[in-house]
Structure 1
Amino acid sequence: MNLIVPMAGKGKRLRPHTLTVPKPLIPIAGKPIVQRLVEDIAAVTPEPIEKIGFVVGDFGEETEKELLQIAEAVGARGYIFYQEEALGTAHAVHCAREIMQGKVTVAFSDTLFKANFKLNTEDGGIIWVKQVDDPSAYGVVNLDQDGVITEFVEKPKEPVSALAIIGIYYFKEGEKLREQLDYIIDNDVRAGGEYQLTTALENLKQDGVKFTTGAVDAWLDCGNKRVTVESNSRYLGFLGKNIISESAIVKDSVVIPPVFIGDGVEVTNSVIGPGVSLGAGSKVSDSRIQDALIQSDSTLKGVNLQNSMIGNHVNMESAPEDVSLGDFSEWKK
């Protein structure tokens, strides 16, 4: 089994947090989004992942090194592929054509999920879906009475289905996917001005590949500040317990589960939780924080925060209840 993770997007909706850190490396419950995704894919795959291809932009050597370590941690060999221009989902996946061999899973990096099933690798293809209230913003599928996908529709203006494609796909024969992507790129087949993966899926279906659906219990978005904070809280809930580093110091404080408290964190005279992640080296005193994502090496004193996201190396003394501050910011009363 090989895994392809397209992640070259700039994360504009999550600025200022993505000005210094690529969105897939923003931590959720103490681990980067992309690491959570890779680990969760590995957990539902009944056979080892051999190769993981990360499709990136200009993220820098340190980020690429971290991605290779994420692959190594699940027993796979990591590869870095570059998407220099954002030309659509099919183009992003095509950048990793080198490892489209045998069984292949494609998982877009801003997708986190909760599922209680094992991937059936004998199916020709599986598209993971979740029922949504407003399907107009997603690619959706229609099914026949046997649960086989009959149609792919990209962002339907009229309701045709409520089963949204969440961004995770399985192909029993990666070579067939590669052939279709080659055809789309070589012949400049675009939809809405971009090369769409749904075009390749439709062509594969017409070529005889039977796609079924894999339904997830929860689908977590990390597209902007609000939903990223919500996803952090929900993922902590999935873990079902406090995760507190042995090197953290919690003094004269109340910790309401679930929370994540990282290495070297100091919490004094505060109430933390529920739904809070405190990154390594951060210091919190005289504060009340709930449903918030605080990254590394930040200092918060006398704050009352909820539904908030704070970057790295932030210094905050007193603040409004709902805030989003990027790296190296200061807020003082």
Structure 2
Amino acid sequence: MKIIIPMAGRGSRLRPHTLTIPKPLIPIAGKPIVHRLVEDIAGVLNQDIEEIAFIIHESFGKKVEDDLIAIAQKLGAKGTIYYQNEALGTGHAIMCAQDSLSGPAVIAYADTLIRANFDLDTNADSVIWVKQVDQPEAFGVVNLNGANEIIELVEKPKEFVSDLAVIGIYYFKDIAVLKNELQLVLDNNIIHGGEYQINDGIKQMMAKGMKFVPGEVDEWMDCGNKDVTVETNSRMLGFLHKDGIDLVDKSVRLDNSTIIPPCYIGENVILINSTVGPNVSLGNACHVQNSKIQNSLVQTHSHIKNANLDNAMIGNHANFDGNFTNVSIGDYSVLE
């Protein structure tokens, strides 16, 4: 099994945090979004992962590439890097990895996290993962027939079609079939919204009678902007805490301080006269003094004092000292 991860977009809605690293490498509960995503997919597939192909922008740099290769290797897979240097759509992004498009594979867009527990129907030509939503008119949804097969993809339907939204994760029994259809999309310049779309390849597969079925996830968490990323961090902490996973490193130093779970507290964190939690992630080597932090995400090597933070997101190597609450501070920022 292969996993294909298109992630060439920087994530402009999550600035300033994505000015220094791409959005899929933002940590959620102490682990990069894309790392959690591939782990969750591997858990659902219950199969050995042969290769993880990451489609990135060339400007991301060698350190990002090395980090991604390491993520693949932790799952026992080969890591491969491809480049999409022009924002020409989801179909174009997938075709940038065409040398890896053979055999069974999952395509997953790296701006979402899931919790799922279902058996993958490997007899189907494709599985499109979906989640029941309250406002289907805001999403792309699937239309099902009486045999629970997907017969249509409808983007933001004005009239009710179904309440099962497409979340951006797909399984293909042989992804070479999708590759051939997307090549036709590119060759014939089939464009929607100014871009080449994966849906046009999928629709051509459906027109040829291939079997598509839904795979419904239990939880679907977005990481699109600061507020929803902080919320996703809180939800993931809750799930991991419920699973009985200890998220507080043994090296954490507490001096007249309290941790209220669920929290992720990384290595060599120092807490002095502070209360942290619930729903807080503190990355490695953070120092917190005379502060109260809840429902917040702080990355690594940041120093926080005299703070009362709620719904905050703070980057790496930041210094924060002040009476602010709902903040979003990027890497190497100083507020004193």
Q: Which residue of structure 2 aligns with residue 70 of structure 1?
A: 71
In the alignment, structure 2 segments of 5+ residues that lack a partner are none
Q: How does 1:8-157 map to 2 (within 5 A)?
A: 8-57=8-57, 58-157=59-158
Q: 1:324 aligned to 315, 328, 335, which one?
A: 328
| Deviation of the 1:272 alpha carbon | 0.7
Do structure 1's residue 176 and structure 2's residue 180 form an aligned pair? no
CA distance in 1, matches of 2:80, 2:196: 23
> Is the CA contact (8 Å cut-off) linking 1:190 and 1:196 kept in structure 2?
yes
Deviations 1:275-295 (A, max 9, x none): 100011110011111110000
Deviations 1:246-288 (A, max 9, x none): 2221221111111000011111111111110001111001111
Q: 1:267 aligned to 259, 267, 271, which one?
A: 271
In the alignment, structure 1 segments of 5+ residues that lack a partner are none
> Is the CA contact (8 Å cut-off) linking 1:154 and 1:198 kept in structure 2?
no
> Is the CA contact (8 Å cut-off) linking 1:283 and 1:300 kept in structure 2?
yes
Tell me the TM-score normalized by structure 2: 0.96
SS of the aligned residue for 2:53 comes to strand
CA distance in 2, matches of 1:93, 1:291: 36
Q: 1:280 aligned to 272, 281, 284, which one?
A: 284
| Deviation of the 1:92 alpha carbon | 1.1
> Is the CA contact (8 Å cut-off) linking 1:242 and 1:258 kept in structure 2?
no
SS of the aligned residue for 2:295 comes to strand
Deviations 1:95-130 (A, max 9, x none): 111111110100000010011223232322100001
Do structure 1's residue 212 and structure 2's residue 213 form an aligned pair? yes
- What amino acid sits opposite 1:318 in the alignment? G
SS of the aligned residue for 2:129 comes to strand
Aligned residues: 332
RMSD, aligned α-carbons: 1.1
- What amino acid sits opposite 2:112 in the alignment? T
- What amino acid sits opposite 1:138 in the alignment? F
SS of the aligned residue for 1:289 comes to strand
Q: Which residue of structure 2 aligns with residue 4 of structure 1?
A: 4
- What amino acid sits opposite 1:26 in the alignment? I
- What amino acid sits opposite 2:280 in the alignment? V
Deviates more, 1:114-123 or 1:145-154: 114-123
SS of the aligned residue for 2:38 comes to helix
Q: Which residue of structure 2 aligns with residue 296 of structure 1?
A: 300
Q: Which residue of structure 1 aligns with residue 186 of structure 2?
A: 185
Do structure 1's residue 166 and structure 2's residue 170 form an aligned pair? no
CA distance in 1, matches of 2:304, 2:157: 45
Do structure 1's residue 305 and structure 2's residue 309 form an aligned pair? yes
- What amino acid sits opposite 2:287 in the alignment? K
CA distance in 2, matches of 1:304, 1:242: 25
Tell me the TM-score normalized by structure 1: 0.97
Q: Which residue of structure 2 aligns with residue 194 of structure 1?
A: 195
Q: How does 1:227-238 map to 2 (within 5 A)?
A: 227-238=228-239
| Deviation of the 1:133 alpha carbon | 2.1
- What amino acid sits opposite 1:23 in the alignment? K
% of aligned pairs identical? 52
Deviates more, 1:119-128 or 1:63-72: 119-128
> Is the CA contact (8 Å cut-off) linking 1:28 and 1:232 kept in structure 2?
yes
Runs of 4+ in 1 over 4 A off after TM superposition: none
| Deviation of the 1:242 alpha carbon | 4.5
- What amino acid sits opposite 1:52 in the alignment? I
SS of the aligned residue for 1:4 comes to strand
SS of the aligned residue for 2:92 comes to helix
> Is the CA contact (8 Å cut-off) linking 1:312 and 1:328 kept in structure 2?
yes
- What amino acid sits opposite 2:193 in the alignment? G
Deviates more, 1:201-210 or 1:276-285: 201-210
> Is the CA contact (8 Å cut-off) linking 1:108 and 1:168 kept in structure 2?
yes
